[in-house]
């Protein structure tokens, strides 16, 4: 077991802690103006969203409820896998204003499928909020209603985002050094 800092594997800081704070302030303002009177059900997508959601909801000074789903896509990796919920919400989304919160929007398969699911379950509205967006990677026609930052097509870690289950605890968003990827 190594006790090396995960920071040593980072080649470049893409979004600093300071920048993340500014993005959060802006997102929180937009979410507040749309949801302050709606008692939304804020649904985080585990595991990547846990840091972002925790920081976002502490900036929201109005009634809301927090819940989580966990989703795994399965399939052979080449064809679009089906999305399986490995953890469902505890609260009933029927008639609720649901705000889905995820770390990053990539192909958008996860959030588009979750949006359809909560619409089918009778949510009064369903919107999505992502800290990061990689628009060049879309596989389905879907965009989030609230996006913190658009980034280029790079694999990023930190602030909740992982590589091989690691690096989620980095307080900034970074790109790993090539030799840190397991082969
Ligand atoms: P998609 O939009 O359905 O393709 O899936 C997005 C999910 O893939 C995110 O919630 C992340 O868990 C994961 N993901 C996508 N891009 C990255 C990345 O650059 N770093 C870490 N995880 C990523
Ligand atoms: Mg995720």
CATH code of 117's domain: 3.40.50.2020
pLDDT at 41: 98
Closest residue (by CA) to atom 4 of ligand 1?
Answer: 107
* pTM of the predicted model as reported, rounded to 2 decimal places: 0.95
pLDDT at 140: 96
> What value does the mean pLDDT of the chain take?
94
Q: Do the domain assignments include residue 78?
A: yes
Q: Do the domain assignments include residue 2?
A: no
What is the domain range of residue 82?
19-151
- Taking residues 125-142, what's their average pLDDT? 97
Q: What is the percent of the chain with per-residue pLDDT over 90, rounded to a whole number?
A: 90
Q: What total number of domains does the chain contain?
A: 1
Find the 37 Cα to ligand 1 centroid distance in Å.
31
**Measured CA angle at 50 (ends 85, 135), to 5 deg:** 75
Q: Does residue 106 have an active-site annotation?
A: yes
Q: Among 74-83, 122-131, 134-143, 147-156, name the one with the lowest average pLDDT.
A: 74-83
Q: Do the domain assignments include residue 172?
A: no
pLDDT band at 83 (very low <50, low <70, confident <90, very high): confident
Q: Do the domain assignments include residue 183?
A: no
Q: Do the domain assignments include residue 163?
A: no
Sheet of 97-105: strands edge to edge?
82-87, 65-74, 41-46, 97-105, 125-133, 146-150
- 80 pLDDT above the threshold of 70: no
Ligand nearest to the CA of 142: 1
Q: Do the domain assignments include residue 173?
A: no
């Amino acid at each position: 077991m190594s006790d090396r800092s995960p920071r040593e594997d980072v080649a470049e800081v893409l979004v600093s802690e300071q920048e993340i704070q500014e993005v959060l302030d802006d997102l929180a303002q937009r979410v507040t103006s749309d949801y302050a009177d709606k008692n939304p059900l804020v649904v985080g997508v585990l595991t990547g969203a846990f840091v972002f959601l925790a920081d976002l909801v502490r900036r929201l000074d109005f009634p809301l409820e927090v819940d989580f789903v966990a989703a795994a896509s399965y399939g052979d990796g080449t064809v679009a896998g089906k999305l399986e919920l490995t953890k469902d919400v505890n609260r009933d989304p029927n008639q609720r204003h649901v705000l889905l919160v995820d770390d990053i929007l990539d192909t958008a398969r996860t959030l588009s499928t979750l949006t359809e699911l909560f619409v089918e379950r009778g949510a009064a509205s369903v919107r999505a909020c992502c800290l990061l967006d990689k628009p060049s990677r879309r596989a389905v026609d879907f965009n989030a209603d609230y996006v913190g930052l658009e980034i280029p097509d790079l694999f990023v870690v930190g602030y909740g985002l992982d590589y091989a289950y690691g690096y989620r605890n980095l307080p900034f968003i970074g790109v790993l050094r090539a030799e840190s990827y397991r082969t």
